[in-house]
Structure 1
Amino acid sequence: MAATNKHEPEAWTVANAKAHLSEVIERAQSEPQMITRNGTPSVVIVSVEEWNRKTARKGSLATFLLDSPLAGAVLTDERLVDEPRDLAL
């Protein structure tokens, strides 16, 4: 397993992750664990707490739009009426 940099999770190969699954799970409790396939990042394993934090709904789109500072702003739908360009074919 090799870390690519401070901001990326450490990377496990599929074979190494299979052989050390308990360790992968244990480390995923504190930080995401990346698994690579053929040298390419394939999946990231995270704790349930992290998954729930990242996927929690924070409200509906309607609520988001109603709470926007632009709520009630007047939008215009005017369009330019240009003639088509004359192209030589």
Structure 2
Amino acid sequence: MWTLQDAKNRFSAVVDAALSGHPQEVTRRGKPAVVVLSAQDYHRLVADARDQRPSFADHLLSFPAEEAPRAQAAPRDVAF
């Protein structure tokens, strides 16, 4: 784990470690901020997430088939 200042000072080392297959965590003010990982790992993660996500049509079709209850409100009178 790197502090932000150390990661800035040794950015080449951060990148080299990420390219060797070891994602590098960077903190800011003592709290986790970002993770530096190789482009290959990033694209793999994005593709895996995309493959596991249903299509929008599948999402809409997964809603219950029963009719949703509607409010029984009467329209109000409007005088012009």
Q: What TM bracket, shorter-length normalisation? A: 0.5 to 0.7
- 1:14-60: CA deviations, max 9, x gaps? 11001110000000111110000111000001100110011113265
Q: Distance in 1 between matches of 2:23 and 2:58?
A: 29
Question: Which consecutive unaligned segments of at least 5 residues does structure 1 have?
Answer: 1-10, 79-89
The structure 1 segments of at least 4 consecutive aligned residues displaced by more than 4 Å after TM superposition are 62-65, 74-78
Cα distance in 2 between the residues matched to 1:63 and 1:27: 41
TM-score when normalising by structure 2: 0.62
Higher helix share: 2
Percent identity (aligned): 31
Matched, 1:61 2:55: yes
The number of residue pairs the alignment matches comes to 68
Task: Name structure 2 gaps, 5 residues minimum.
Answer: 70-80
The structure showing larger relative contact order (alpha-carbon pairs under 8 Å, at least 6 residues apart) is 2
Q: Are 2:15 and 1:25 aligned?
A: yes
Query: How far is the alpha carbon of 1:77 from its aligned partner?
Result: 6.4
Shift of 1:13: 0.4
